[in-house]
Amino acid sequence: MSPLLEPGPTRVVGVLNVTPDSFSDGGVHAADPVAAGIALHAAGADLVDVGGESTRPGAVRVGPEEELRRVLPVVTGLVGAGVPVSVDTMRAATARAAVQAGAVVVNDVSGGLADPDMAATVAGLGCVYVLSHWRGHSDVMTSLAAYGDVVAEVRAELGERLSAVTAAGLDPRRVVLDPGLGFAKVAEHDWALLAGLDRLADLGRPLLVGASRKRFLGRLLAGPDGVVPAPTERDAATAAVSALAADRGVWGVRVHDVPSTVAAVKVATAWRSAAEVGVS
């Protein structure tokens, strides 16, 4: 088992988008993304997740060469600075290049569905693999948000993907599962999945929750006039979700604003520890 997956406090995964069109921070880190990643780590991020392709609703995919051009120098620079790195990609070739450059996690929001070579590639790399629930690319995913019991269906589909990547040679002990909040989901689905984390944990793998700044939080925080706050104004709500998820024992939370979530996870961890002492 990777040391990353050993029992411990909920990990904080800092988001570093090196894209011009991500929904909340596109282009923000263009000047010096390596310095931005180092700052995320210094602020308490256990991992820095580098992504070169936006997965916001409606986004159009970039070519593989462009994704690699964006991502690889940043991964190399961060690894050289001693920062633990995750690569956010749906492409096996990008995953391979990033891990060969020192990344220790492949975070695939498509769960291996976007690239049939991903599972076998990651199996050969020996890294941690984050497998997300996914039904289709960003330009069509909204139309795929149809469920009866969303928790049961997401659990079943994650289980199917876990079996598929295991059959392709990937050690299931290296897999983290992500319910894919916002991916082919509407707000009601996202809340149901957060409330149903225990049912997802029954699959036997650690969980990663990626709620940061997402639409369902914006909708929750909308004022009486219906105006939805900007993504950067959703960090307090994100920290609240992080604390609640940490209290439920998730392996990690993926966030844009690292300091607020580091504090929230510390509070949740202390609270949970005190409760366990009280029970004993």
Contact between 89 and 67 under an 8 Å Cβ cutoff? The reply is yes
**Which residues are within 8 A (CB) of 10 and not within 5 positions of it... i.e. 6 or more apart?**
242, 245, 246, 249, 250, 251, 252, 253, 265, 268, 269
**Which residues are within 8 A (CB) of 213 and not within 5 positions of it... i.e. 6 or more apart?**
23, 24, 231, 232, 234, 235, 238, 256
Q: What is the DSSP string of 35-51?
A: HHHHHHHHTT-SEEEEE
Q: Is 254 a catalytic residue?
A: yes
Contact between 265 and 253 under an 8 Å Cβ cutoff? The reply is yes
DSSP character at residue 8: -
Catalytic-role residue among 135, 214, 215, 248: 214
Residue whose token pair is 């180092």: 38
Catalytic-role residue among 70, 96, 155, 254: 254
Q: Is 214 a catalytic residue?
A: yes
| Dist. CA 177–CA 209, nearest whole Å | 9
Q: What are the structure tokens assigned to 182, written together?
A: 């916002």
63, with CB counted inside 10 A (0-12, 13-18, 19+), is exposed
Residues with a known catalytic role = 214, 254
